[in-house]
Amino acid sequence: MQARRAARELAFILFSQFDRKITNYSKENLDDIILKSVRILSDSASEDIKASLGSLLDIKNRIDDYEAEHEINLNRPIDASNVSVPVQMTTADFKSKIDGMIEIAEKALLALEIAEFTTLDSQSDVKDYAIKIAQTYHQNHDEIDGIISKNSTGWDIDRLVKMDKDILRIALCEMLYIKETPMKVVVDEALELAKKYSTEDSASFINGILAKVIVDKAVQ
């Protein structure tokens, strides 16, 4: 996993922890929240792995029950071991269950990677970049939220989904102030965060806002 991608996701988790105005947070507060965010990611990964394991055990139990109750095995001696039988499940059913477990496993692995990136001394740039995003927003929050409000035609910024606002805030910090990452990468990463964490319509909404900002600010 790329360090910058890990930093963006960590920044997003960090933003989600703010329970008061950004201006009330110090650098020390941000360091503490980073540690809390890593714990949240680790706990989430643990729960996701448990959910995936639960799904696997459920499938295994259903197969065992189906095998035991199949007429071939019902007619066998009581002390005889069951024999394998054809499973009556469509390929679509199998794929759906497997896809669900793969998605859970991928999210868990990603969360663990971010936690590892953040805690390793050699990868301190992940933590530093996440805090840099937060501090950039801290210093420019009025302008950034004003840009979001201006380009959210027909929407009240206070009523926007907080996850969408935080994703936009992170992207705008990078695009307009930090300017260390190509614009297309920033937009693509914002859309990935939206698809992973927010609503079905969030990616298109965020893409539309960022497109307007790019045109308006002539970001290159």
The pLDDT, as a whole number, for residue 1 is 46
Structure tokens at 59: 């499938």
**Placement of tokens 């102030």 in the chain:** 177
Contact between 41 and 114 under an 8 Å Cβ cutoff? The reply is yes
Domain boundaries, the chain: 3-217
From the list 1, 209, 220, 219, the residue with the least C-alpha distance to 110 is 1
Structure tokens at 199: 């609503």
User: In 10 A of CB 206, how many CB atoms?
Assistant: 24
Contact between 164 and 151 under an 8 Å Cβ cutoff? The reply is no
40, exposed or middle or buried, with CB in 10 Å at 0-12, 13-18, 19+?
middle
The structure's pTM equals 0.64
Contact between 11 and 133 under an 8 Å Cβ cutoff? The reply is yes
The pLDDT, as a whole number, for residue 87 is 73
The pLDDT tens digits for 10-63 are: 888 888 777 656 666 676 777 777 777 777 777 777 777 777 777 777 878 888
Mean pLDDT of 188-212: 89
Q: Rg of the chain over CA atoms, in angstroms?
A: 23
Q: Which architecture characterizes domain 3-217 according to CATH? A: Orthogonal Bundle (1.10)
Check pLDDT > 80 for residue 207: yes
Alpha-carbon distance of 146 to 148, in angstroms, equals 5
The pLDDT tens digits for 68-127 are: 888 888 888 888 888 888 776 666 777 777 777 777 777 676 666 666 666 554 456 778
The pLDDT, as a whole number, for residue 168 is 96
Instruction: Considering only residues 90 and 212, tell me which one the structure prediction assigns the higher pLDDT.
Output: 212
**CA dist 182 → 40, 154, 156, 167 (Å):** 29, 30, 29, 17
